[in-house]
Amino acid sequence: MGGLNFRAIFFGPSGPRAIWRLAFFVALLEALFAAERFGFKIALPHLGGAARALLGEVAQFAAVLLASGVMARLERRSIAAYGLPWRRALRGQFWLGALIGLLMISALVGALALFGGLRVEGLALRVPDIALWAGIYGLVFLLVALLEEFRDRGYGLYALSQPIGFWPAAVVSSAWFGFGHIGNGGEAWAGLVNAALVGLVFCLLLRRTGDLWMAIGAHTGFNWGETYLFGAANSGQRLPGALLNTAPAGPAWLSGGSVGPEGSVLFTLVVAATFLLCWLGFASILNPETARDGLESRIAPR
């Protein structure tokens, strides 16, 4: 009776198995995040507020980029294989994604206002400040989307798709994306579930297009519309500089309560409708068979 073949556990025909590569990536990323936190504590101990949050986002994106670059070097691929081809940055698919995200939040706010879950109380900015804050939030939420999409639907989703398939990996990735919002002040279980469901929409955009740029655009457009345009709480956080004054009204299941519109049952319906429309409606526009083949060629073991 033969013993365990440990090499077969850790290695396949093409080298280290995907699950161990993923474990190495996660460990490397956590080490880089820890180094980033330590660096902030030593170098910028008194930095706080918006400046610390913004620099933290930049540092975390740099960490994800570095960890992904290490994996690309080890696997003899480019970072584009993990969903971030720089040559397609901020081009047509990004802006179409931004429109999708903006339409999602607009439909949600419109439904909330119609059913008494949100009050719109007028403009909150002076006219000279409107363009300034619009640009600030555009840049901030582009950075947030880059970080969160590449972190949660970049190398991790790519590697996990190899042993278990794209959609099971997408469910795991989206659940983790939702769970990642748990530390936000004012967040609640309904917001976490809806964030995970939105993650599935972003995974579908990746599936349809073959890279993350449409998902990054949708993520940016939704956050920009929610925080700046409509002045609502974003995952439990209300920020200054919004265009409109709005306030939740009615029961929390309808308004979203402290979470903001993302915690509303109406958002669950908007997400479901968006997923269905993207699944059915983009077939003729994006040629999903070609995009799917391109994506599957990237996640195939080698």
Q: pLDDT tens-digit profile of 238-278?
A: 889 999 999 999 999 999 998 999 999 999 999 999 999 99
Q: What is the mean pLDDT of the chain?
A: 88
Pairing of the two strands 118-123 and 15-16: unpaired
- The Cα–Cα gap between 198 and 134 comes to 24
Q: How far apart are the first and last CA of the chain?
A: 32
Percent of the chain with pLDDT over 70: 88
- At residue 283, the pLDDT reads 54
Q: What is the DSSP string of 23-79?
A: HHHHHHHHHHHHHHHHHHHHH-TT--HHHHHHHHHHHHHHHHHHHHHHHHHHHT--G
Q: Which pLDDT band, with edges at 50, 70 and 90, does 188 fall under? A: confident
The owner of tokens 């940016």 is 220
> HSE-up of 285 (CA within 13 Å, CB side)?
12
Are 124 and 242 within 8 A, CB to CB? yes
**What pLDDT does residue 40 have?**
84
Highest-confidence range of 123-137, 169-183, 212-226, by mean pLDDT?
A: 212-226
Average pLDDT on 116-142 reads 94
Residues 6+ apart with CB under 8 A from 47: 40, 55
Q: Is the pLDDT of residue 219 over 50?
A: yes
Determine the 3-state secondary structure of 121 from DSSP: strand
Threshold 0.75, pTM exceeds:
yes
Q: How confident is residue 24, by pLDDT bands cut at 50, 70 and 90?
A: very high
Q: Which residue has the higher pLDDT, 129 or 187?
A: 129
- In the predicted structure, residue 129 carries a pLDDT above the cut 90: yes
Picking from 92-96, 168-172, 249-253, 295-299, which range would have the lowest pLDDT averaged per residue? Answer: 295-299
pLDDT the model gives residue 161: 94
- Interacting residues of 262 by C-beta distance below 8 A, sequence separation 6+: 191, 194, 195, 226, 234, 235, 256
Does position 293 have pLDDT exceeding 50, yes or no? no
- Position 297 pLDDT exceeds 70: no
CB-based contacts of 5-9 (< 8 A; 24+ apart in sequence) = none
Q: Binning pLDDT at 50, 70 and 90, where does residue 207 land?
A: very high
The amino acid at 239: L
- pLDDT band, residue 229 (cuts 50/70/90): very high
> Which pLDDT belongs to residue 282?
67
Average pLDDT over residues 22-35: 95
- C-alpha distances (whole Å) from 155 to each of 2, 22, 66, 93, 162 are 36, 8, 11, 20, 11
What is the pLDDT at residue 201? 97
